[in-house]
């Protein structure tokens, strides 16, 4: 309640600062500060028409259910984006992690609860692999063993599906979601620590790849 009372006490200051910010930002616009309202409204209308009407898109399943109003779903995303977009400076980047507070076990539990179908690559298979930096790397057309690395066939799975040249497999017999949950619940090494080959190369392995045009 203290925060609310302080906001009310300084309401005139807040109003004047907001008004000055809007006027200075949109002083070269024909519509002035009204453009700050019309612009997101126009974007929302176009997105709703194109994706909601022409492509019949639906709002995805959320933790507390879903809304059948696609425009409302779009509004929630556009509203947050506009808050950040106004603070975006030249040369800066935003990275959004909607599941940043989820653990690997949380994700697999969610998959089990909602009976989500997954490609077979997420489950254990017998694969030709070789040992590199104490990790099992899969033999592919993009990654071949060195002369001193022996190819063997092991029962393995991938805790994350990524670039085969830098994503390792783990020994596993998990062929169902419940098997993976059981394995993950007792794992003592993180997914990144167990499978990210770049981290074994250097502390800046991925950054080194970027500099050579990886992305």
Domain coordinates in residue numbering, the chain: 1-26, 31-96, 104-211
Report the DSSP pairing between strands 135-138 and 170-171.
Answer: unpaired
Q: pLDDT tens-digit profile of 12-41?
A: 888 888 778 777 766 776 666 676 677 778
pTM (2 decimals)? 0.51
* Neighbouring C-alpha atoms within 13 Å toward the C-beta of 177: 16
Q: pLDDT tens-digit profile of 135-147?
A: 898 898 888 999 9
Q: Which residues contact 186 (CB under 8 A, 6 or more apart)?
A: none
Question: Residue 210 in 3-state DSSP?
Answer: helix
């Amino acid at each position: 309640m203290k925060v609310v009372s302080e906001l009310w006490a300084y309401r005139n200051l807040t109003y004047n600062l907001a008004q000055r910010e809007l006027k200075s930002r949109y002083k070269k616009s024909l519509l002035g500060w009204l453009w700050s309202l019309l612009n997101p409204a126009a974007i929302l209308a176009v997105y709703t028409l194109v994706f909601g009407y022409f492509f019949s898109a639906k709002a995805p399943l959320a933790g507390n259910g879903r809304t059948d109003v696609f425009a409302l779903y779009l509004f929630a995303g556009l509203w947050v984006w506009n808050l950040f977009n106004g603070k975006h400076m030249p040369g800066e980047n935003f990275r959004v992690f909607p599941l940043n507070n989820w653990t690997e076990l949380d994700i697999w539990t969610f998959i089990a609860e909602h009976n989500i179908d997954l490609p077979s690559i997420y489950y254990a298979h017998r694969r030709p692999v070789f040992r590199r930096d104490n990790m099992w790397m899969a033999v592919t057309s993009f990654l071949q063993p060195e002369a001193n690395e022996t190819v063997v066939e092991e029962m393995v799975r991938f805790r994350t599906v990524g670039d085969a040249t830098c994503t390792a497999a783990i020994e596993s017999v998990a062929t169902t979601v419940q098997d993976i949950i059981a394995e993950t619940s007792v794992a003592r090494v993180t997914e990144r620590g167990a499978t990210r080959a770049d981290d074994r190369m250097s502390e800046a392995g991925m950054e080194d790849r970027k500099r050579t045009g990886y992305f």
